[in-house]
Every structure is written in C-alpha cells, then in structure tokens.
Amino acid sequence: MSILHKNFKIAVALALLIGSQTASAQVAWPVVTKQTKPWARWWWEGSAVNKKDLTWNMNSYHDAGLGGMEITPIYGVKGHESEFIQYLSPQWVDMLKYTLQEAKRLDMGIDLANATGWPFGGPWVTDQDASKELFWKNYDLKGGDKLNEAVVFVQQPLVRSDGQAPKITDLVEPIGSNKNLQLMALDQVRFEKRIPLTVLMAYDGKGQSLNLTDKVDADGKLNWTAPAGDWKLYALFQGWHGKMVERAAPGGEGYAIDHFSKPALVHYLDKFDQAFKGQDVSSIRAYFNDSYEVDDARGQSNFTPQFFDEFIKRRGYDLRAHLPALFGNDNKENNNRILCDYRETISDLLLDNFTKPWHEWGKSKGALIRNQSHGSPSNILDLYAAIDIPETEGNDVLRFKFATSAAHVTGKPLASSESATWLNDHFLSSLGDVKQAIDKYFVGGVNHIFYHGISYSPKDAPWPGWLFYAEVHFNQTNPFWNDFSTLNQYITNCQSFLQQGKPDNDVLVYYPLFDSFSEPGDRGLLKHYDAMKPDFKGTGFESSTEEMLKKGYTFDFISDKQIMALQTSGNHIITGGLNYKTILLPDSKYIPLETFSKIMDMAKAGATVVVYKNLPSEVPGYARLNEREKAFKDLLAGLNFTTSDNGVKTAVVGKGHFLIADDIAPLLDAAGINRERMTDGGLQFVRRTYKNGNSYFIANNSDKAIDGWVDLSVASSSVVVFDPMTKKYGLAKSRKQGNNQTSVYLQLQPGQSCILQTSPSKVSVANYTYYKDADKPVDINGTWTLSFTEGGPTLPQPVKINQLKSWTDLGGGEFKAFSGTGSYSISFKKPAQNAVAWQLDLGKVCENAEVYLNGKKLTTLIGPQYTVTIPSGQLRSVNQLQIKVANLMVNRIIDMDKKNEPYRIFYNTNLQSHSPSSKGPDGLFTAINWEPKPSGLLGPVTLKPVKYLLIK
C-alpha cells in the first residue's frame, strides 16, 4: 500500500468519525453503526485461539450487540500450553487475519493493542532500549585531596513476580531465553551488575562546577586533585529500571521500553512491521496503548541516554551544572525550579519521542491510535491531544475529564473508556451496576465505551470458562449473558446521540501542572498524573472544578500548549471547532510567561478571563528567570482591579476583562456563564450541540424520583425526550423561562436516564406520555410456578411457591449452588379498577428479569428499577405472567470453592481479591467464606393503575 493511499485511508477513517458531528439530528433515533455500539477489550489468553472458536465467540459478541473488539493477548491457561501461539509469529498473524475477516463478515471493528499486557515491551527489547533509572552517589573532598574510593555503582539484584518468583541466580540474560516465563510472571528484574557512569560533577558551593567524567578511568579511579575549597561530587549512573511487561502473553515476555527514547520506540515497532510485512491487516481500525504503568514497581523509569542533550535543547542550560538542586540540596527556590525543568523535559520526551512518533506510525498503517495517557510523568492533556481517541478509566468524573477535555479542545470526535474494570468483588457485579457506571462515563464526556473486558473462551471449556483477573466477566457463561444485549442496546442508543454534534461546554479551566512540577514528591524525582488526587488534592484546581461540577457549570481542562493555539472571535474563545465563553485560572501559583501573555492577548481581543481566588504570581523554571519574571510582573501591573457589589473584582484589558473572586458562583455569574440547575436536584448531565439545537444526556444518580419541572440553560421552542432503555420518545412538555432558558417536565426514577433534544422551532412528533397514580397498587398473589431453564451445576426441580423469596432459601443445596435462569409463572385476574395503563412493579429482583405477558415479551429489566408500564388494553380478564430471572455467577463459584473444584487455572494472576472477605491464605480470591447470594424474584409483585398526567 502506498503512503498516499495509506494517508487517504486514514483521512477517510477520520472523516467518518467527524462526519457524525455535522449531521443534523432528526426527531428519531439516529442510525446505529458499529461505532455507536459498545466495544470490549478482548483477552486472548495465551493467544490460544483457533478459527472455529473465534467464529463462535465473534458470532455471540455480534448477537449480543457489541460493535467491535480490541485484541489484547494475555497470560495463558494452564493445561492448554500446547495451544499457545507465540505472539507475532506467522501462526499468530494468521489468527489475526482470520479475525479481521470474520469481523468484516459481521460488520464489527477490530482494534489491536501494540503489546501483550502492558506496558509496551517484549523479548526483542534489548538492554539498550529498555527503561532506564538514574542512580547517584555523593562524595566530599577538600582542596588538595584525591578521592580514595572508586566511582562505581553496582546495581543490586531484584526480582518481583506475579507468579512463582524465581531466585535471581536462576535467571539468565536475555530474559526471553528463560523457561517457564508464564509460570514466573515476572514484573521487575534487575541483575547484579556494575552500571555505567553517566556523569561526575564537582561543585565548590560558590557557583563553580566542573565536569570530571573524562577523568574517571575504566576501573572507576578518579584522576583528579581537588583545588582549594570544599567540594561535593555527584556521580550519576545509568541503570536498568527492570520493569517487565505485566500479564504478558507467550512470546511477549520481556522488558518494557524506554518511553523517552525515539530509537527505542522505532526498534520496538519494527517488530510489528516485520511480522505484518506482506500481510493484509489494513482493516485494523486502531492500535492501542494501555495506561503507562511503568513505575508501579520499585524505583522509577526516570532517565534516557540522550537526556542531558535534550535538556539543553529544550530548557536552554546544562542540567549537569545544577545537580545539587535536582536532588534537593540547594536553596528551596532553586531546588523547585530545577526539578520543574527536569520534569518538564521528561514530559516533553514522552510526548515527542513516544506518543507523537507512535501516532505517525499508526497513521502510516492507515490506522488510528487509541491511548490511555494517564499514569505517566507527563502533561497528560498533551499526550491525549496527540492521538486520535483518548481513553480514560476509573469512577471519577473529574478524572474522565482529562481525556474527554483533550478530545473536545482539539476537535476529536471520540473519547473512549476502559469501563467496568472492577466494580465489585469477583462475580458480584450485575448489569444494573454496569449501567450506573457507564452513565457516569457519559456524564464525564465519554462517548465510546469499551468493556474491560471479555476473555476469549473455547465453546467447550468447562464452566466458568476462561476468565481474566480484573473484570466483571462479560462471558457467555455468565447468567446475565442472555440479557447483555439489553445493556448494549441502551449504550448504543445513548452513544448514537453522544457521537452526534459537538460538545457544548462554557469554561476552559487552566491545568496548573507547573504548580505540581515545582513541588517535591514522595516517590522520587517524578510524579505521575492520573486524576486530581494526590497531586492536586487541596488545591484551587480541585476545589474550583468540584464546585463547578456540583453546581452544573460545563467545562473542559486545557494545557499550556493548547492555550497557545486558542483563537478569539469577539468575546468567544475558539478551539477544536468549539466556542467557549471564558477561561478560568484556578488559584495557581506558577504560569509560563508565554501562556500568560497569550491569555492577556485574548483578553485584549475581547475575551473574558476569570480568576479563582488569586492570580498566578510566578513563572516556573530556572532559565532566564530574571528576564521572564520582569516581563511577567509587567503584565500583572497592567491589571487594575475595581470591586463591584457582588465581591467580584474587574480589570478592563483592551476589549475584554479579567474577573477575580473567592467564590465560583458569583465569579462565573459575572462572566455571564449560566449553570444547569438540574444538579441541585441530584441530576447529572452532559450537554452537546447539533445543527438545530442542543442535546442532553441526563442521569438521575440520586435516591429520589424526579417528577417535575427541570430547568435547562438553553432556549428552546420544543424539547423531545428519548428513553434510551425502552427506545420510546415524544414531545416533552416544556415552557420558556427568562434569560433565554427553558424548563422541561421530566419523570425519572433513581438510576434512570434520558436524552433530551431541543429545537428552536416546533417539531412534529407525538407527545411524550406522562403518568400519575390513579389508585393504590394491587398485589399479584397466589401460587407461583418456578422452573429452572438453564444454568448449573444442576437444574433444580420445578417448585410451586406461595410466597416469593430468594430461591437459595427454598431448601436443598441445588438451589443454593445454582447460577442461571429461573422462570416464574402465575395467573392473575385483571383488577377491577379503571385505568389507562398499569404499572407492573416486580419489587426486588436478583438480578435481571425478562417479562412476558400472555406469551408476549414486554421487556428485559436490568435495574435498579424493575417496572414496566402496560397499556390497559393488553390485559385480559385472566392473564398469564411469566418472569425469567437470571442471577449472578457467584453462587456456583461459592459452591466450587467449598468443594475445592478448580476454576482458577490461569498463569500469572489467578483472580486477585478485591475485599477482605474474599482473601484466601494465599492472598488471592476465594468465595469459600461467602454465603449464597439472594437470587430470583423476591417481590412483592404489584400492578398499580395509572392515568395520564396532564401538565399545564
């Protein structure tokens, strides 16, 4: 494929992604594509895949409503060693090509991790390309003295393992030549060896520094006599960090790469070039990188061979002249400024020598790049901005915003998430739990969900099949699998809107990374950035954004580099094709001169700049400090603030102005920023624009039902409400408010969500139906027939019950151990009350329920609410109600653990414990101490008559 054709292909792919932004949303559900469906990380354990089971698995994924899979090879399954396929071998590439072929048949997408496990690494990573760590020694000399000891450093041996840790003496180099690597599951290895001297510097404490490196001979002897004075010598040695690929697949075991070295990346990716040479893998949509996770080990990967040269090029001075300050032995200000420059250089190298060239490599393949930038010692906003699909993870909306903000600010249409990694302990998470977690991602701006994850498992593998140690177990053996499509359809319905249009946020919040760069950490030279905590805990950045989130202000984070690309139009700030109303400085101490100058220029052009509590007071870093400080102080001197009645101070700058206040609400109010007041009632939201108006995703994450008027901060003549769980929609009752705002009437139960679409004109669509209670509910009592249709370890015999309760309380052990589906049936007469409809409430359900009335399926309910509204005309004089309930995997797992039946059959990590109650003597997961969890239909089941709610 020519480079021209490859670039055309990538352009087409991006155009398809971006095209949905400009489409005018219709008063109907948007068209479903594989991109609007949820995707999943797909663990290839041991890469022990075969074509027959690949087809079976992919058919089942497609039928469940998944739009694509991300292949990540991982550790293997014991007993299947003969089926292991070496990573990137011709046989492995053949399986990849077959998968791509099947994906095309099923109209599914395929992404591929650029590694097994994480981080990037493997047996082809040489010592030269492996991650490096800086070690140092100090020596003191007086004038006229010579150093008596050798300037040498011997790296101490170290083995960290997630499996059966060997002795270091049992390992040989290179690592890939050792046997039983799957069994050992090495996480970090350092061999005892003398490591090379990088630099030896001498300082006299009076500003003089001498480079003595070339005066050290091969044996480490320093041939130098100290001149007059007291001298402190700093010897720096370049060692090996020793980080290995975590959870590596066969053929992927080896050292992690040096992420700060472009040659190391080029050599690493060349392995893929060679493996794919002459092979058609062009339908891979994107290549993926899991979170940085290099330094979750002893020490830090904090150096690279060309670091000092790179530092001079980027910072303008030689770091070697300031090593005492780097290691905290100068005055506090110098210590902080030199450390800041060191960290900024590391950040630049991760961006310029890893992220950007990796993106270019993917582009040359006609593929996108998906990246988890968090966890790295870098400005993660810039890393996220340098690739195509930023990906986040976790359970904190502010954490999500680092990835989604970078997508918004740079005009990227998709932001993805590693979703439902560990919601609870193993086997305890329901589809309803997952739904609530996904809603939080949507609120945080994510619009491309990836489950974490699904393990490839042979069709005939004994129950519970092949599992991964950190997931909800989205596998065909899970009893909720038959209902999985309901959750996937819900996500598809939501994402079909969330991938349309553009984000609609008002405020850009400056990311004050230099405040953190300039403060010492407790883990070594580097800090690693992921979320607000720990490095921004207690700062104005944290408190201001938490308050904005709570109060319903819409915002994105922005970095210094991204600020430099901002444009203004009148009082609007433009970036990524979006218009923002203001930029907020969140009580930061440091800001680069270039950044503040740019902000001043934007204000002069008409922009509004808001300052929370205090203006920045210093520029970061060491080089040309006096010159930069003077220029910065001159800019500050141009701000002359006057105080208004609401406590907000104002300084006019050209056509715009600065506002400063100690409280967010009056500050943003003075800037003309409207908030979404729905958050006062416990609702959370994300707002987007489309050609004809706005769309909202709204989730009720409170414990109270919403039944009333909800204010929107936008003007609208019509509002259409869409229920993504039922796919019903209609014209909502709405009314115009003052200040170009709208109120809409919503009915949302706890855990329920909806999508709103506003329009500046009247739309032609049927009215949305609102209901209210017409009378008291009627119990559905009598004798229920409970039969078990699928599951195990055995199917209990059918039973008749007069009172609903957990089937684990029905007597025998076969009920306690059962995981699967139980079908409840009962006949009931139509109640005597008159009603336009009836609300069937199943009460407590453990965990999913398919509801059938008179042989016709009404719905599948996954919680947290288990209600369905039935038009009165669907009820007969005598009715047959059937409710198929699927419980969780856990009860069968409890039974297996109590019987010591093996299912933790995996190399590397055999299911880590997530709580004290599940921790066995070996520290790993066991359910042996658990009691069976409630299962089935617990009720009470009621029918409540309802009537139309007429809203004036």
H-type alpha helices, 683-826? 813-816
Look at residue 3 and tell me whether its pLDDT is greater than 70. no
Surface-to-core class of residue 314, CB atoms within 10 Å of its CB (0-12 exposed, 13-18 middle, 19+ buried): middle
Give Cβ neighbours of residue 97 (< 8 Å, ≥ 6 apart): 279, 280, 281
Across 56-68, average pLDDT = 98
pLDDT computed for residue 26 by the predictor? 55
Q: State pLDDT tens for residues 848-867.
A: 999 999 999 999 999 999 99
Distance from C-alpha of 111 to C-alpha of 920, rounded to nearest angstrom: 36
**CB environment 907-934: b (16+ within 10 A), e (fewer):** bbbbbbbbeeebbeeeeebbbeebebbb
pLDDT computed for residue 12 by the predictor? 42
- Among residues 561, 575, 559, 609, the alpha carbon closest in space to that of 403 is found at 559
What residue type is 467 in one-letter code?
Answer: L
- 441: tokens are 């991602």
Cβ 256 vs Cβ 177: under 8 Å: no
pLDDT computed for residue 566 by the predictor? 98
Cβ 693 vs Cβ 700: under 8 Å: no
Q: How confident is the model at residue 952 (pLDDT cuts 50, 70, 90)?
A: confident
Cβ 657 vs Cβ 609: under 8 Å: yes
Look at residue 4 and tell me whether its pLDDT is greater than 60. no
Across 688-703, average pLDDT = 95
Give Cβ neighbours of residue 333 (< 8 Å, ≥ 6 apart): none
- 296: tokens are 């979750």
Across 651-670, average pLDDT = 97
**CB environment 661-671: b (16+ within 10 A), e (fewer):** beebebbbbbb
- Among residues 554, 614, 597, 610, the alpha carbon closest in space to that of 579 is found at 554
pLDDT computed for residue 908 by the predictor? 85
DSSP string, 584-621: EE-S-SB--HHHHHHHHHHHHTT-EEEEES----B--S
Q: State pLDDT tens for residues 160-205.
A: 999 999 999 999 999 999 999 999 999 999 999 999 999 999 999 9
Cβ 361 vs Cβ 6: under 8 Å: no
The three-point CA angle 947-951-952 to 5° equals 145
Distance from C-alpha of 503 to C-alpha of 943, rounded to nearest angstrom: 42
**CB environment 680-703: b (16+ within 10 A), e (fewer):** eeebbbbbbbbebbbbbbbbbeee
Across 328-337, average pLDDT = 97
Helix (H, G, I), strand (E, B) or coil at 335: helix
pLDDT computed for residue 914 by the predictor? 87
pTM beyond 0.85, yes or no: yes
Cβ 494 vs Cβ 541: under 8 Å: no
- Note the residue count of the chain: 952
Look at residue 16 and tell me whether its pLDDT is greater than 50. no
Across 406-424, average pLDDT = 96
Distance from C-alpha of 69 to C-alpha of 143, rounded to nearest angstrom: 67
Give the DSSP H or E segment for 10. helix 3-22
The three-point CA angle 817-819-917 to 5° equals 65
SS (H, E, C) 377-431: CCCHHHHHHCCCEEEEECCCHHHHHHHHHHHHHCCCCCCEEEECCCCCCCCCCCH
Look at residue 523 and tell me whether its pLDDT is greater than 90. no
Cβ 130 vs Cβ 240: under 8 Å: yes
Distances (CA, A) of 950 to 454, 716, 749, 767, 769: 46, 21, 19, 11, 9
Across 722-732, average pLDDT = 97
Q: State pLDDT tens for residues 800-819.
A: 999 999 999 998 899 999 99
Distance from C-alpha of 622 to C-alpha of 599, rounded to nearest angstrom: 22
Helix (H, G, I), strand (E, B) or coil at 924: strand
Q: How confident is the model at residue 21 (pLDDT cuts 50, 70, 90)?
A: very low
Distance from C-alpha of 773 to C-alpha of 437, rounded to nearest angstrom: 31
Q: State pLDDT tens for residues 647-659.
A: 999 999 999 999 9
The pLDDT > 70 percentage for the chain reads 97
Distance from C-alpha of 235 to C-alpha of 530, rounded to nearest angstrom: 32
Across 527-543, average pLDDT = 94
Can the peptide bond before residue 250 be classed as cis, meaning omega within 30 degrees of 0? no
Look at residue 2 and tell me whether its pLDDT is greater than 50. no
- 73: tokens are 């090879």
Helix (H, G, I), strand (E, B) or coil at 356: helix
Cβ 700 vs Cβ 733: under 8 Å: no
Phi, then psi, of 67 in degrees rounded to 5: -100, -15
Q: State pLDDT tens for residues 113-170.
A: 999 999 999 999 999 999 999 999 999 999 999 999 999 999 999 999 999 999 999 9
Distances (CA, A) of 288 to 47, 113, 371: 17, 4, 6
Q: State pLDDT tens for residues 436-474.
A: 999 999 999 999 999 999 999 999 999 999 999 988 999
Look at residue 7 and tell me whether its pLDDT is greater than 60. no
Q: State pLDDT tens for residues 772-783.
A: 999 999 999 999
Across 362-381, average pLDDT = 97
DSSP string, 140-183: EEETT-B--S---EEEPPEEEESSSPPPGGG--SSGGGSS-HHH
Look at residue 27 and tell me whether its pLDDT is greater than 90. no
- Among residues 126, 255, 239, the alpha carbon closest in space to that of 192 is found at 239
Look at residue 14 and tell me whether its pLDDT is greater than 90. no
pLDDT computed for residue 1 by the predictor? 44
Look at residue 240 and tell me whether its pLDDT is greater than 70. yes
What residue type is 737 in one-letter code?
Answer: Q
Cβ 723 vs Cβ 729: under 8 Å: yes
- 103: tokens are 């994906």
- Among residues 148, 137, 149, the alpha carbon closest in space to that of 202 is found at 137
- Among residues 285, 189, 565, the alpha carbon closest in space to that of 411 is found at 565
The dihedral of CA 565, 567, 571, 572: what is its sign? negative
Q: How confident is the model at residue 19 (pLDDT cuts 50, 70, 90)?
A: very low
Cβ 151 vs Cβ 222: under 8 Å: yes
Q: How confident is the model at residue 100 (pLDDT cuts 50, 70, 90)?
A: very high
Give Cβ neighbours of residue 534 (< 8 Å, ≥ 6 apart): none
The dihedral of CA 149, 150, 153, 157: what is its sign? negative
Surface-to-core class of residue 377, CB atoms within 10 Å of its CB (0-12 exposed, 13-18 middle, 19+ buried): buried
The three-point CA angle 222-225-228 to 5° equals 140
DSSP string, 236-286: EEEEE--BBPBTPPTT--SEEB-TT-HHHHHHHHHHHHHHHTT---TT--E
pLDDT computed for residue 495 by the predictor? 98
Look at residue 86 and tell me whether its pLDDT is greater than 60. yes
Laid out side by side, the sheet with 578-580 consists of 567-569, 572-575, 578-580
In which residue are the tokens 């921790």 written? 919
Q: State pLDDT tens for residues 546-580.
A: 999 999 999 999 999 999 999 999 999 999 999 99
pLDDT computed for residue 658 by the predictor? 98
pLDDT computed for residue 11 by the predictor? 47
Distance from C-alpha of 151 to C-alpha of 158, rounded to nearest angstrom: 22
- 359: tokens are 């993106």
**CB environment 755-793: b (16+ within 10 A), e (fewer):** bbbbbeeebeeeebebbeebeebbebeeebebbbeebbb
Surface-to-core class of residue 521, CB atoms within 10 Å of its CB (0-12 exposed, 13-18 middle, 19+ buried): middle
Look at residue 6 and tell me whether its pLDDT is greater than 70. no
Q: How confident is the model at residue 291 (pLDDT cuts 50, 70, 90)?
A: confident
